[in-house]
Structure 1
């Protein structure tokens, strides 16, 4: 994302080691580098400025306490994302979490755009938001983390508490669904005059389209010859997702977090936050809260609430223009007195924000979308009555079964497949699709000079599965060198390459 610093394994390892060594400036540096993207992720899950800030605060305090147990410091970034996700899930599951939400402002990124360009960006965001609205919450979260937050498959697996293979399959499936949903949104916006069925589906609805309408459109396109022909137009899903807005960090959040992490009077609160972040596995990674039974503790916040401290800055940052313009005037606006109007949990999302609440078919996953500024309904807890186990009596006692010996079958070795590499786009920016043919493929990408790869750089593909990534040439840097390089690319193992070229 624009404005987010580029990070690699070397950076992650360095920051983790500095934090572990007790460097006095480490936490401040980590905040400056990681906080913008982590706050945006918190806000996508919680859709409230205060809740997102508190989740980020508690995550960094827990990181400070537990970084000594992290055995893979090169995975520090995904480790932070797991801590953040767990903190957000705790708040979503807590019945004390308020139903009203106060979205954060958007990061200003259109200062150099004229009115026409702003209008085109607004229209694009509406299209992308309508497409995202048609995806289940878990798939939205996966594609957001893989594309906008640039987490590799193995890192995404750790954040979501699944295997690397499951993460690869989830991202591939999410991308396919998003491509279909995006095509449906484009047809709904531009092709309603060519198909009466499309017009009947979308004319009575405002943008963004409700999720059920998006799904109906996708099913219609599959069965309509006219719409299916329009569906063949290719778009860069990665680039469109990169255009979604980012939640702006509150101005005083940095000072509030650093104070909460060092104030001697808050030592007991920090200890409670650290305990609540447990358990951790043998590698020092936090266990995903999806796999942990909720604890019935009464110390959700630990550190006193931030917003008596941050309130003044929050009021300054509540910029209605960019956030509520995208909604077409349907979102809450600031009253004349300057106080924010709450957004009730469960209301429809604005195009610049998150889709409406998760699909009933979701498996407990939160419902994130880039720069979400509308709330997710707080899940309610249900209690189960255990089924009583009958007590054996003398008349019902059975003889102990004899042990049987079964021979374990060896799982067949996976058949190695062929990696098929395809690319599209201009010479200096390619969208690359890798597909496994005739077997399993373990692949890796090696970018050449001045080339940046967006998405995973290695992984495993099951037969028939695909993964999409991007390759972009930094021609500005290349052309300023003593000997300009005008051609580079990405090499793939076990085979294949994509060339990039530009003119200095």
Structure 2
């Protein structure tokens, strides 16, 4: 197979520019430059003349439509080999490389036996790197891997090729020595029998596909002497492994294939056929190169990495929940993560209208039954999530004297309740505070939340004139909290309602 012609960056860019403009002349030049190499590569992989012609034809039609989309135009050869390789993988590869057996090539059997000792991935890398002269950067772009991985694959392929070639030469020398050995003399009969046994064992050894270590040097003196005297063995070992692969005969390119490619690319009535060929070529990578079916895409790797991280975080959260299980209440782990029922108020109103009609909540009473002074805070009942607290039944106790009638209390002027802020955003935290202040007089107030996720430390209270107070808001979520919004309504004794919007985001634990 002839070496590549000198590739210039300007020439590749000129061809890509011509393809982008729909120039038929550029397509013809592209075919003349790359068709022999693509046909040789595809025929070596598939071993079928008809399949090879179809794949090469579809590759050039696809390149005529989509090759200009690649970012780096110097990867034109990578685009063509990658498109042809994808179609070979989809059609099914033979598992070994093939060449024209009818051509005169003395090293055909040796080359085939050498490649049979190698893995197919090493065979393909050696074929593209040493026969078609693809440098690691272009080879990596064609195979869908990085340049570094392509260089490592080329080094491994060279090592495997040379070791397999050396092993085959040794086996061929042993076989040649056994075939050409004369009738042994009585004194040398035992030594000749040993050489024949070595040849038989080598012939019966199973063919191994994995790369083999370096073959040991020939120890048999008769075989070593034979290699020095045999012209055929010396001629067989003259070309190296890489030279043997590069000198294999190239298949004859069909003359009608060029006309077929140009006709499909330029006939207006075949526009639908061209679109179908491009669609069968599969998706392109972000660099505009054909994606390979046996190589995961960068998006797949990214999503696998992200999904693995999220799964690990979830497992860690579940384990932490199990370890801290005694500190979580029975209502913490539930689904859906929050309820939609409004939180019940514990304020007991005596009038039917409630606080919306201007009635004052009942004041706390002294142990003797006397109402407390004006402005004194009423009794505070803790929040119980809708459950009524258990009140112990009163037991017998000492009798108390009847209370005396208190002096009349002058009426007080109700104050004005000030509430801030108007909206609370709880991102990254689960605790916030609502500030209250009394202006122009004493104030009593009640509070209620619209959802069970918002927990208040107090539901009611009172303040003297000029005093201030604070209500603590706690966000209660499940194991994984979803974003949401709720409201806290604070109503003063005159029925004026103040609403505070509470918004929160996603939370874990």
TM-score under structure 2 normalisation? 0.48
Higher relative contact order (CA 8 A, sep 6+): 1
TM-score under structure 1 normalisation? 0.48
